[in-house]
Structure 1
Amino acid sequence: MSAKIHFLFITNVLLLFTQQNAYSQIAAPDSGKFLATAGVRQVEGAGGGGIVPWALITGYGTEDSYGANAYLTVLSTQDYRLKSYGVAIGLFDKLELSLGKQEFTGSKAPLDQLSLQQDIAGIKFRISGDLIADQDNWKPQLAIGAMVKRHQGVQGLDALGVSNVKQLGAKSDTGIDYYASASKLFFAQSLLVNGTLRLTKANQMGLLGFGGDKKDQYQIMPEASVAYLLNRKLVAGLEYRRKPNNLSVDDEKAYYDAFVAWFPNKTISLTLAYANLGDITVFNPKSQRGWYVSVQVGN
């Protein structure tokens, strides 16, 4: 199926959801959820951790309300810099919609002029479970989601005659990731555990396109997060994200990070992480590591 057909399917599902809830009068944001249960902004715009989406719905609005926020994330490694920013809204603690943009640039020859950009539209549905209410049973909160991604072309590789990711071996400059997440909060132990399965063809999240000369089919990739609440406002954790290896020019590896997130109130959160992104292209063949800083503002 083409990206256009996938997008139309997601749009129709969203319209159906809206019609079913048209009778509900949306109250003003009530910020009724517990502090930190809105999560932070994942680098593709979904609510969750830094590199892994969680089953929670963004914002602090309860089932009769909504929440919205904006975010900015900057990650710098030895040879590259990634900036991600966007907005998201959570409706009825059931539906999450997000719009984000990623800007990826090089800082070391031969890719010091490299510039890549992609736009991402996300949707997520909570299908069962409740992060807080299900403390007396084993049930996690479950959600399914999709990320529609469109690459905006390659800049800075004019000397190589490259202006599109297809010239690097990618099969397409558009794609969709599908995922299912399960999040369980063990309140008494101050511990949150999340597991995500992602169906994807994306190379480096889509920054190098979708599919490649080595593989061009959807693959299921596991992702995981563990977060410990040090106190009511401070959370520390670890994340892992496996990724496909589709391109000859990119010996793609898994992502890892260790993070600390601070929630001084329900209006703002700050996240600091140290991330390992593995190899990114054969032109700078070394593991890319660096600091990740993210700020989220909303309700």
Structure 2
Amino acid sequence: MKSNAWWRALVTRIWLLILLMWAAGACAQSRILATPGAMQLEGSAGGGLVPWAVIGSYASEDEWGASAALTAVQVNDFSLTQASVLLGFDERWEVSYAHQTLRLGNQGAADLAQATAGAFPNLTIEQDIFGVKGRITGNLIYGALPQISAGLQYKINHNADISTQVLGARSTRGVDYYVAASKLYLDALWGRNILVNGTLRHSRANQLGLLGFGGDRNSAWMGEVSMAVLLNRHWAVGVEYRQKPDLLNSVREDAWADAFVAWFPSKRVTLVAAYADLGNIALWDAQRGWYLSLQINN
């Protein structure tokens, strides 16, 4: 199992590096700087935690473009790394893929081994997420109507034994459905532009799916919000909040929140840094720490 996981991680990173080099040489640059946002924690275009209605890459009508990102999250007892890619078509369609690896720190591994009588001496979880998003109506900048998009994320957890055998998750796979609305308000705050996004999601995913899918309670629709202030053409600051399904009686799942800074030095590069509060995760409370994502766009 460890050998297979190592090979999957290696192949994913090699593929990503190839795509990064390829994307750097592409030329779909029609859209305004920063308008595609960044690639969020499940691979879709948006903020760090929340998918937005925007379509990823800088491709506009009659164009296609690509973006690729490497993301790391470090909280008290866990580390999460992600390699993700997306393609945007005609500023209307987006397809994405993300490969996540969650690892437990030394103290957390000792706590887990004690709690499970040594049945799980360590914890490494890998997950694949395949996403698609389509713009329904509206425009991010022009007109009164916000841009409205609908999407789904199909998730496959490759190491869900502890989730299904100990925590009570029902499945190793699941699909999230969401509808998002985004609008950029020009000169809205002391001459600065403000982006506001609201997302409504239906999900059975426990902690994004890293703790399996389904449980003792029924899934429901949940709200997610983001707001960003563009300080100038290259810098933005913002906050995000994301409700979570909390389906397992055995462990509590809290809402997630972050405060972020995004830098857009050019259309080729996006860098996002954030302070994230992920609340309770399985046996561990108060999981807080940093988020960092480097993205290459064409």
Tell me which interval the TM-score lies in, with the shorter structure as reference length.
Answer: 0.7 to 0.9
Instruction: Provide the rounded CA distance (Å) in 2 between the counterparts of 1:70 and 1:113.
Output: 30
Which residue does the alignment assign to 1:293? 292
**Equivalence map 1:52-201=2 (5 Å):** 52-107=50-105, 108=107, 109-111=110-112, 113-134=122-143, 137=144, 139-154=145-160, 163-167=161-165, 168-189=167-188, 190-201=193-204
Give the drift of 1:153.
1.2
Which residue does the alignment assign to 1:31? 29
Give the drift of 1:249.
3.0
Range with greater deviation from structure 2 (50-59 or 109-118): 109-118
Instruction: Provide the rounded CA distance (Å) in 1 between the counterparts of 2:140 and 2:68.
Output: 23
* Matched letter for residue 219 of structure 1: A
Instruction: Provide the rounded CA distance (Å) in 1 between the counterparts of 2:170 and 2:38.
Output: 32
> Aligned-pair RMSD on alpha carbons?
1.2
Q: What whole-Å deviation, never above 9, does each CA across 1:3-43 have from its counterpart, x for those lacking one?
A: xxxxxxxxxxxxxxxxxxxxxxxxx7431100000110100
Give the drift of 1:67.
1.3
Instruction: Provide the rounded CA distance (Å) in 1 between the counterparts of 2:210 and 2:250.
Output: 13
Give the drift of 1:86.
1.3
Q: What whole-Å deviation, never above 9, does each CA across 1:157-205 have from its counterpart, x for those lacking one?
A: xxxxxx3521120011100000000001101220000000001111001
Query: Does the residue aligned with 1:187 lie in a helix, a strand or coil?
Result: strand
Instruction: Provide the rounded CA distance (Å) in 1 between the counterparts of 2:156 and 2:63.
Output: 31
* Matched letter for residue 143 of structure 1: S
Query: Does the residue aligned with 1:231 lie in a helix, a strand or coil?
Result: coil
Contact 2:44 2:96 in 1 (8 A): yes
Which residue does the alignment assign to 1:25? none
Q: What whole-Å deviation, never above 9, does each CA across 1:50-89 have from its counterpart, x for those lacking one?
A: 0000000000011110110110110001111011111100
Give the drift of 1:130.
1.0
Query: Does the residue aligned with 1:110 lie in a helix, a strand or coil?
Result: helix
Q: What whole-Å deviation, never above 9, does each CA across 1:93-115 have from its counterpart, x for those lacking one?
A: 00000011111111022248211
* Matched letter for residue 127 of structure 1: I
Contact 2:258 2:276 in 1 (8 A): yes
Query: Does the residue aligned with 2:61 lie in a helix, a strand or coil?
Result: coil
Contact 1:261 1:269 in 2 (8 A): yes
* Matched letter for residue 238 of structure 1: V
**Which 4+ stretches in 1 moved above 4 angstroms?**
none
Which residue does the alignment assign to 1:263? 264
**Equivalence map 1:10-49=2 (5 Å):** 29-49=27-47
Contact 2:219 2:245 in 1 (8 A): no
Instruction: Provide the rounded CA distance (Å) in 2 between the counterparts of 1:164 and 1:247.
Output: 13
* Matched letter for residue 28 of structure 2: D
* TM-score, structure 2 as length reference: 0.84
Instruction: Provide the rounded CA distance (Å) in 1 between the counterparts of 2:28 and 2:96.
Output: 20
Percent identity, aligned pairs only? 46
Instruction: Provide the rounded CA distance (Å) in 2 between the counterparts of 1:172 and 1:63.
Output: 39
More helix by share: 2
Contact 1:258 1:274 in 2 (8 A): yes
Give the drift of 1:238.
0.2
Contact 2:219 2:247 in 1 (8 A): no
